[in-house]
Structure 1
Amino acid sequence: MTVINAKVGSGKYPVLVSDNSINELIDFCDGYSQENVVCIVDEFFKENDNSLYNELNIFLAKYKCLYLPGGLQSKGLEAYSLAMKWLLDIKLPRDGVIVAIGGGVIGDLSAFVASTYMRGTGLVLVPTTTTSMIDSAIGGKTGINFQDQVNAIGTYYNPKAVFMDVRFLLTLNTRDYFAGICEAIKMSVTSDAAQAKKLLNNSTLLASNNREIASLVDLVIWSTKIKLFHVGDDPNEKGIRLTLNYGHTFGQSIETFYGLYQDHYRHGEAVALGMICAASAINSINQSSLSSDLLDFTKKILKQYNLPVLISDQPDCLFPSVEVLVNNLINDKKRTSQGNRFVLVPSIGTSIIQYIDNKKVIASSFQSIMP
C-alpha cells in the first residue's frame, strides 16, 4: 500500500493506493459510530457479483446506503435533491461522513452533497474507474450539471481521505478503461516527458484483457502525485492548475455538439480529439520541428490506447462541421474579451497558456480531426 499525503489549499488528507484498499476503508470507517457513516454508491455494485464486489458488499451491509445510477442522469438537481432528502430523513449528523463509491459522476455528486449538507459534512471518496482515480477524485472539485452546462453548480471541497483500490480497474470494459487513461496521457504530455515516453508502448497498460496490477498501481500513484503538483497551491484554478485543461477547450466544443447526455464520445475520448486539435494549433503557430514531433507523438500514443484521432473513429454518429465546432468554442462560457484561453505544448513535457482569437487557426485545428 502507498499513502500519499495530499495538500490542496489549506486541506490535508491521505490518498491510499493499493490492490486491497477496501480493507483500509473498513478500518477508517470503524473509527466512526456506525450510525454516523452512510454510503452513496453506484447501483452497478448492487447488481453485479464477483469476489471484489462481494468484499465491498460485506462492507456496505454495515451502513445505510443510497444506490444511484452511475451515468450522467445522476449528476443533476434531481439526484442532488434525492440525496439531500435521504440524508435529512435518516438524520445524518453534521459530524458524520458520506462514503462515495463509484466513478466520476457519483464522486462529484456526493462531494457536492457533502459540501452543502449542514454547511459541510465529512466526505470519503472511493473511485472505481480510471477517470475517477486518475483525475476527478483528486483536487477537491465538486459539481452537478445544470441547463446542459457541465458543472454549472459546484464548490471546492476536500475529502477526509481517498481510497483507491486498483482491482476495480480490472473489471472495466475496454472503452471506459482507455478513456480514463487519456487523462494520464494528457498530464504526461504537458508536464512529464519521461512519463509520456514510458506510457508509449507500455504493453502492461495496453493489454486491455490482461491488466497488470503493479502497472496500474504505478500509473495511479504517478497520476495522483502529478495532479497534486498542479492543484496543491492552486485549489481554485487561478494558475498552474489550468494546465490540466489541455485538450479540454477543443474537446468541450465536440461534447457540446453531441449534447450532454449522449454516448457517442466519452469525456476522455473528446479530450483525446481536443489534444490533436491543440497539437495542431501549436504547430500552426510555431511551425517548428518540436511542434511537429508533438503532433506525431500525440497521434501515435492515442492510437495505441484505442483513443480517437479523427472524429470518424467513432462509428455511427453524425459529424459536425468545422464551422459548428468553431462557433461552439467561441460561445464557450469561459471565453474572455481577449479570446479563448488554451493550454498549448511547445514541446513534450512543457506547456504554456495562450489566448487565441484567430478563427483561421482555430478552424485549422478542428480540420485536423476531420475525416
Structure 2
Amino acid sequence: MVSDLLTVDYKKDFPLLAATDVAYLDNSATSQRPTCVIEAERDFYLKHNANPLRGLYQLAMEATDAYENARIAVQKFINAKSEQEIIFTRNTTESLNLVAYSYALSVLQPGDEIVTTIMEHHSNMLPWRMAAAKTGAVVKYIDCDAEGYISDAALAEAITAKTKIVAMAQVGNVLGRLNPVEKAIELAHAVGAVVVVDAAQSAPHMPVDVQKLDADFVAFSGHKMFGPMGIGVLYGKKKLLNKMPPYCYGGEMITWVSRDTQEYAPLPHKFEAGTVNAAGAVGLHAAIDYMNSIGFEVMEAREAALTKLCFEGMQKLEGINIIGSQKWEEHKGIITFTIDGVHPHDIAAIMDADGVNIRAGNHCAQPLLDHLHCGATARASLAFYNTEADVQKFLTCLGSIRERMGYGR
C-alpha cells in the first residue's frame, strides 16, 4: 500500500522530471532543479545583471543585494551566528581545499596528525594528504567495519594530543551512513583540534545546525540540494576565518593595494576573489526557500519510506549484494550494491536502457572500496521527489539483469 507520504507529486516542480518518465536515482551525484531555481537565475540575468560589490550604480547595487541576501539565507539555513561566517565557493571540493590550504598549511607542524576516515570522498582526503606532505604532518585513517560503523572507541583511539584536524563526512556518499560527527567534535575539541565536516550528502537531506554541532568548518554544494552547479559553501567559525590568510588573490578580496603592500578585505570577502557567481548564489537562495517550503520533516519521511521500499525489494532478489549495513534505516537514501557475475558498468548501462539512472564505479571513494574488498559498485540514491513508481521501475529492471546477462533466474 502506498504511504500517504508518497502521494504528493513533487516532480511537477522539476521541469526535467516532469518532461520524462526516467527514474532519476543518481541524486548523490547531483540533484535536479525546480522551476523556481531556474527562474531565479534567469531573472537575475534578465533584470539585475551587474558585477556585485563593485559598481555604485543602481544595477550593481541590486546585484550586490541579491548576492548578499543569498548569504543571509545560507546563514539562516545552517544556523550560523553571522553571515560573515558564510564563504561562497564553487563546490564542496573547493571549500575543503580552502580549509586545507588556508588553515592547515598555516597551523600544521611536523609530527602533527590529521585524522580522517577510510570512508571519505576523495575531496575530503586528498587535500589533507597535500597539507601533510607540505608540512610534515601525518594523516591517520579510522577504519569502519563491514557495515560502515565507526565506534566511539575507534574515535577515542585515533584522536590524541597530536591531533590538530579531524575531517569527516556527516553522511558517507557510498554507504549512506550517518557518521558520529558529534562524538568526533567532542573528542577533537577536548584536545584542541578543529573539525571539518563534509556535509555534501547531509545538507540536502537533513537539518545541519552548525551551532548545535559546534563544528569548526562545514562544507557543502548547491547542486546536490536542488540549486545550481558552480556554487558551494564553506562555513567557518569567525575566530578561525579571521586568522586565516586568503586562499586566492586578486579583485574584491582587498581594501587597498600599494606598490609594496596590501590590506585584505574583512570577512567574508577576503576569501571571495574575483567576479563571484552571483546568479548561482541567487539560485541557491531559491533552492533554500524551496526546501524550507516543504520542510525537512516531510523530505526525510518521504526519503525514508522510499529507502525502505527499495531496500526491502532488493533483499528479495537473488544475487544482489547490498554494501554496508543490512538495515535500511542506516542508509540515508543511498544504497550501493553489486550483482553476482555482472560488472557495475553493465548494470548501469542496462538500467539506462530501461530508463533508470544510477551511478556505477568507485564513487570517488577508492580507499573505502579497497577496505571493503570491493571493486566497482553500483549506487542508487534517492531524493524526496522520487516516487514509488521510480523504485518499482528500478526493482523490475534489477530483477531482470542476471537473466539478461545469461545467468538465469
* Superposed pair shares fold, TM > 0.5: no
Query: What TM-score range do you get, normalising by the shorter chain?
Result: 0.3 to 0.5
Structure number with higher relative contact order (C-alpha < 8 Å, ≥ 6 residues apart):
2
Structure whose residues are more often helix by fraction:
1
TM-score with structure 1 length normalisation? 0.40
Structure with max Cα Rg = 2
TM-score with structure 2 length normalisation? 0.37
